[in-house]
Structures are given as structure tokens and as C-alpha cells.
Structure 1
Amino acid sequence: MKYRSCPVCGNRDVEILHKLEFKLLKGVDLPDNYDIVICNRCYFVYADTSATQAQYDIFYRDHSIYENGVSVSDMDKYRIIFECLRRRFDKSKSVLEIGFANGELLQMLKKDGYKYVYGLDPSKACVDSLIKNGISAFRGSINNNSVNKKFDAIILSHVMEHILDIAAAMNSIKDLLADGGQIYIETPDLEQYKANSVTPFNYFDLEHINHFGVYSLVNLAIQHGFKVLENGSKKWAIGGDKFYPACWVLASFPKIEKSEKCRDLVKVYVKDCLIKTYPEIEKLIKTREEIIVWGTGSFAQRLYMQTRLDKCNISMFVDNDKNKWGKEFGGKIVTAPSDIKSDNKILIASVYGSQDIKNQISKMGLINETIILSEK
């Protein structure tokens, strides 16, 4: 593995199966080769390409094959998906198709009574065409878009095999999915490649960089917190005795549990924290007497920024933690308690150990007056 860890499980230990090379069209800014690799952990097969997602986004934006119309075999593909989805998606729910190409599937859904259908695609021509057909569309990619709606169902039909950063894509899907929403993902089926091969490396091309089977689609959904509802494989005729193989998974994302009580309590807590003052600190600011601050931990660090401790006349900071000695804090070098030589008052900046520190001061034989901040 040179460039990509396993897109499904994140493993970096892979077996190289073959280095595939291409003769590219002029103007295509993608690498002309990649290694076909298989993950040694989950057995997912993918292209270890040096390309970036930005390069692929530009490629799909400028070289969409779907701007040229829809083929008979593609229509068969859409009909099969449509029949699958219409039995599973409620017509009253909102549906987003990511990478909708020529929009045939969305148009089928709309004609069947789905009122809230939307599309997201990087191709301007595809977006414009869908809008002309009366369907709302957004221009952008799965990992780079400005969609600010939530959807009850999201369709990715033959999209995931094109995505470089699948983990980011799954997170983007979750951002677009309403609580309890469903996703339908369909890709070419690796497990049927051999039985339906037409030419050598028929399914390994410039664009298909991820090769799923049912098992890896299920793994992908589970890895990202989805509950798998159904899965399967299929194929459809693409001319003569040739068939195109595909696999799919239908999954739902658990409804997010919310606690209004918790939300309200933390808001009150933060508000109370913001109005908290320490009269001891205010008094020291007025008297301008020199003080020693004992403690430079998290409480002291918050105290310094959220109160007016920095306005006090601090002569030194000390701490029991040896790891803090010699480090600068509040413009002073933190030292050990044994370095205390003056009889300046000691402000104890500790939440839970203030009494222990006071006892320690006493055992050290120091006569310094101690100040413990009031809790209320």
C-alpha cells in the first residue's frame, strides 16, 4: 500500500494483485496507473491510486458520460432499482439521490407519487437537465456540497465505486440524513466479476477504484454505525448474453436520542460559570500585595483566563508536579514548593487538593498565610 489504506476497515496491510496501466485521453488529469490491492484484514479490493479526490471531482464534473443520454441497459438498471425502492421508501418521505447522472431514477420516483425528490451531482449539464424536468437539484459532490437540508432516504446507485475517501463520504451521508433515515447503496458486484467478465479486467477501469461485494457493503454500513436492514445481489442484461452484476445494501441510521433536560441543564451551568467571581481575587487586585500561586493545573489555567487572576501581583507559581517545573506560566517560570523563600500569601489554585496543600505548607514549616478560594 502506497497511497490508500483500506476504504472499508482502515487497514494498511494489503496484497498487491496487479499494476494496471492506462493510455489516457489528452486533458484527463488522473494517474495513468494504479495497483489493484486486496486488504489482508477484510479482503476488500480497491485501487491504490495516487489521485486526489479533487482530481476525481474535476474529472466527473468535466467528463460525465451521462450528459450524452441514457442507454437501454441503464434504463433496465433504473427500473430494477425503482421496483426495489418503491416497496421500501415511504412516498411521503424526502429522497435524495447522490450522483443521479441523467436523473431517470428520480423521474421514475416522481411519476410514482414521490413528492419530495432531490438530486446532487457534480455535472452542471445533469443538474440543469433535472431542474428542467421539475426536480430540485444541487450541484456538488458527496464530499463537497452546500446542501443544508436533511433527507429521510439517500440513494447512491453506482457511486461508491468512484469515491476516493469513502469514510468522509459516509460521514457526509450521515450529515445529510434525517434521524432514523435510510440509505440504499448499490455498486458493481465483485463476487460476480468472473462469471460475467467480457474482457480482461473488465470492471477495473480509471473510474472504478473500489470493488464491493455484499460482504463489504455490509461491513461498510456497520463500520459507520448503520443497521443493515436488507442486502442482496442481482444482474441485468446489457446486450446479447451479457449481464452486468451488482450488489446492494439497505441500511438505517439509528435515531439520535436527545435529552432536553440535559441541554437545558448545561446551558444553566455554563451561565452560572460565567457569572462566578472570587472575592479573594478581587481583594488581592485592590491591595496589590505580592502573592504566590500554588498550582498550575487545569483549574489554575482556567482561573487565569476566566477571572482577573492575571491582574494580581503574582511573584511566583509553584506546583508539586515535577513535569511542570521549568515551564513558563503567566510570565513566570514554574518552580518547586521548596523554592518558596518569602512570606507572601499563598493562593491555592486547586479544586480538590486545597486542604492537602494547606497541610503540606504547614509540614514544610512555612508561616505564609494561605488563601483558599470560596466555592460559592
Structure 2
Amino acid sequence: MRNTKTLLRPCPVCGATHGTVLRAMRFAVFDDCPLTGEFEVILCDECSFVFYDTPNTLEDFTLFYEQHYFVSGYTAKGDVAVMRAKNSPFEVMGPRLRDDARICDIGCGKGDLLLSFKRQGYANLFGVDPSLDCVEYLNREHDLNVTLGTATDTVHQPGSFDCILSTHTFEHIMDLPEAARSIADLLADEGLAYIEVPDLTRYDAFPGRAPITYLFYEHINHFTPYTLKRLFAEAGLTMIDYGRKVLDEELEPSIPGCFAVLQKGNKLAVPDKVQTLEPGSPDEYLKLFAGDSTPANRTLQKLAESGAEVYIWGINFFLQRVMAMTPLKDCNIVALIDRDAIKQTKTIEGKPISPPSAIEGASPDSAVVVWRGPCGASISHDLKNAGYSGTIVVA
């Protein structure tokens, strides 16, 4: 039986106020984090968009990104991964653009996408980013025209650009219709936009990786090509192409992505594959997010039952979910450990985050829980080199 509810956050694509609960999520967030660690994943009953129903406001998310958003092993390599993957933004958009095209990257970060276009001879390049550090770095080191702002708060005038790029930004945005309208306003007539986001339809594409892995607590929107098409159609942009990709299979987890090419003015033919896009069914999504196949669940349950001392090393949103939604929450956790000096100023449920020296003198009967990604592999290597003789659990 489907569990439907009246929403705290109306559907950000169509505005519907009722939806189906796909599952509840919990994260052990930092004690001073402005975002709640508990929310529900919702399927809109009207347009089939999947998103988080959260009591948090735009102001809460703004504060989160300004003061609480830590770089993980994935996000540190994210911009490079976007370009290295097959169907990179330049591969898709380069053949569609004139040499003198005015190109703007919304949420440009450290500028890897803009620099890829610069290396191919494009000169009219602009960027917008909410990080002052990124803005100053790109203007100083690469002589790019980058300004402080967001998709909905920028100094640029309507019609300023022939092409707008936005990669892995829209999954973070609270007010999607406003952001989509802003993209449309900034484009010149017949201008093109390239929008790339994680691809909900392939969260189950990698053996051994549960779909729940992709439910990061700051990814409040989960797109398919169909819902991308619908969102931007409401803003006056027509999808003229779409595709799928994988962001760097060396990353853990690899991120399945999809992209849309959109046009203002609808001057180009719309291919059949775009016209025939269909929404997913409720049963598909309910099945997708049923259960939690965290590989270490059985081991964590045994640790909880034994009462052994447990250290958690490497505090990121993957382990913060494991801390709240698996038997790890019932374990005898004696220390949280991270190398990041900023994280060492934080607490979770009153427990301070300590430097690696906290592991010194650990009992051979203890266990250290680490993330299964590249940072976790590095931590496991360091523990073995340091002579740690307890159990290392990769979650």
C-alpha cells in the first residue's frame, strides 16, 4: 500500500502538494548543521519528480553551503570527472556553437569546464559562482570573467549568452522553477543550455552499490531526462537532445549522470527520442529504494552485539548515513576521527571529532569503520602501516 502525505515542500517542478513517500532517510549530521538529518524521499503523484520533503528553508541551505559543506573524495575530483567522462560538455556542445559564442558556466567552481572551452579557442567565456575564493582564483590565475552569484542572483543582463552550462548544480537548488527561468532569461534568442545532473534512472546500475548510496543529504532533487524536460519546458526552453554518462568509474561511488541540451525559441527539430520520454512508475521507484544493502551490515550488527570499542574514521555524508541507518548506531563508539582540522572543531551527538592520534593505544579487540571509497582505502593502508591490529570494517 502506498504511503501518501501532504508535503512540507511542494513539488519543485509542478507545485503539487501531495506525494508518495518512497522512504525515510536519516543522517548523523554535525550538531551545528543548519539542515535536519531526517527527511523523506518523495515521488510527486502529478509529475513523477523525486525530491526530498524537508522543513529546511532556502536560508538554511545557503548557510549550509557557506559554512558546513565539506569537500569529499568525490567532490574534490568532480569537475575533472565531468569532463573526463564520455559525452563531456565540450564534446556535446562544441559542434553546436560558433567560435565567437558567449558562454557562461553557472556554478563554475574552479573553472575546469570554462578552461576546457578556452583551450579549444573560445574567448567569450564567463562564469558565476557563489564562492568568493573560486571567483578570485579564476580571475587572477586564468584571466576569466567570473563574478560572484548564482543562477538566480547574477549581475548579467537578460539575453547575455549564446550558451549556458550548468553541471551538477540543479540537484542542490531549492527553487527549481526560478532557477530554470533565470537560465532562460540569460539566454539570447535561439541560445542553448547544457544541464547535467545525476541520473535517477540508473541509481541501480552498478552491482554492489545500493541506490540509497546516491541519496546524499544535500542532493534534494533527483532527476530523470523526462523531469529535466518538463522543468525547463515550463521555463520556455525546449529539450532538443539528451544523453547519459558515468562520472569517472574510478570514483566511489561512480555517479550515473544525464544531460539535456535545451534551446530558447525552439528553432531546431526535436528528435523522436525526446518526444517519447516517459515518467517512471511509482512501483519502479518504490522498488528502487526498498531496503538497504550496506555491505557491512552483518559485521556491524555483530560489533553492536559484542560491545567492542568502535572508532569511525573519515566523517563524510556516506558514513553519516551509515551512522544513523545501520547497526553502527547501536555500537560502542569511542571516537570519531578525521584528518580535516575544520571537522575537528565539530561534534556529532555531542561526541567531538578527533585527529588520527586518537587511535593510538586502541585494543586489538577494537574495530575501525571506514568509508569504502578512495579515502577509506587510504585510511586502511595507513592503519596497517601504523601497526593497528584490530578489525577494519569497510562500510
Match in the other structure for 2:9: 4
**Residues of 2 paired with 1:146 and 1:222: CA distance?**
25
Q: Per-residue displacement from partner, 1:135-192 (whole Å, max 9, x unpaired)?
A: 1111112223333361111111001100000011112212222222111111000000
Match in the other structure for 2:126: 118
Q: After TM superposition, list the pairs within 5 Å mapping 1:275-314 onto structure 2.
A: none
Partners of 1:190 and 1:212 within 8 A in 2: yes
Match in the other structure for 2:177: 167
Match in the other structure for 1:57: 62
Match in the other structure for 2:89: 81
**Residues of 2 paired with 1:88 and 1:136: CA distance?**
22
**Residues of 1 paired with 2:154 and 2:16: CA distance?**
28
Match in the other structure for 1:144: 153
Partners of 1:70 and 1:102 within 8 A in 2: no
Which of 177, 188, 203 aligns to 1:178? It is 188
Partners of 1:61 and 1:124 within 8 A in 2: no
Tell whether 2:254 aligns with 1:243. Answer: yes
Match in the other structure for 1:134: 143
Partner AA of 1:201 in structure 2: I
**Residues of 2 paired with 1:70 and 1:16: CA distance?**
28
**Residues of 2 paired with 1:28 and 1:93: CA distance?**
41
**Residues of 1 paired with 2:232 and 2:170: CA distance?**
12
Match in the other structure for 1:214: 225
Match in the other structure for 1:93: 101
Q: Could you tell me the TM-score, scaled by structure 1's length?
A: 0.63
SS in 2 for 1:8: coil
Partner AA of 1:58 in structure 2: L
**Residues of 1 paired with 2:211 and 2:258: CA distance?**
21
Q: Which runs of 5+ in 1 are unaligned?
A: 257-376
Tell whether 2:50 aligns with 1:40. Answer: no
Partners of 2:190 and 2:266 within 8 A in 1: yes
How far residue 27 of structure 1 moved from its aligned partner, in angstroms, is 3.4
Q: Could you tell me the TM-score, scaled by structure 2's length?
A: 0.60
Structure number with greater Rg is 1
Q: Number of aligned pairs?
A: 256
Partners of 1:66 and 1:102 within 8 A in 2: no
Partners of 1:138 and 1:147 within 8 A in 2: no
Partner AA of 1:6 in structure 2: C
Moved more, 48-57 or 247-256: 247-256
Match in the other structure for 1:277: none
Tell whether 2:211 aligns with 1:203. Answer: no
Relative to structure 1, the CA distance from residue 206 to residue 70 in structure 2 (aligned partners, 3 Å threshold; closer, same or farther) is: closer
Q: Per-residue displacement from partner, 1:319-351 (whole Å, max 9, x unpaired)?
A: xxxxxxxxxxxxxxxxxxxxxxxxxxxxxxxxx
How far residue 39 of structure 1 moved from its aligned partner, in angstroms, is 0.7
Higher RCO, 1 vs 2 (CA within 8 Å, ≥6 residues apart): 2
**Residues of 1 paired with 2:36 and 2:237: CA distance?**
33
Match in the other structure for 2:293: none
Identity %: 32
**Residues of 1 paired with 2:266 and 2:47: CA distance?**
28
Match in the other structure for 1:102: 110
Match in the other structure for 1:224: 235
Q: Per-residue displacement from partner, 1:284-334 (whole Å, max 9, x unpaired)?
A: xxxxxxxxxxxxxxxxxxxxxxxxxxxxxxxxxxxxxxxxxxxxxxxxxxx
Match in the other structure for 2:30: 25
Moved more, 31-40 or 195-204: 195-204
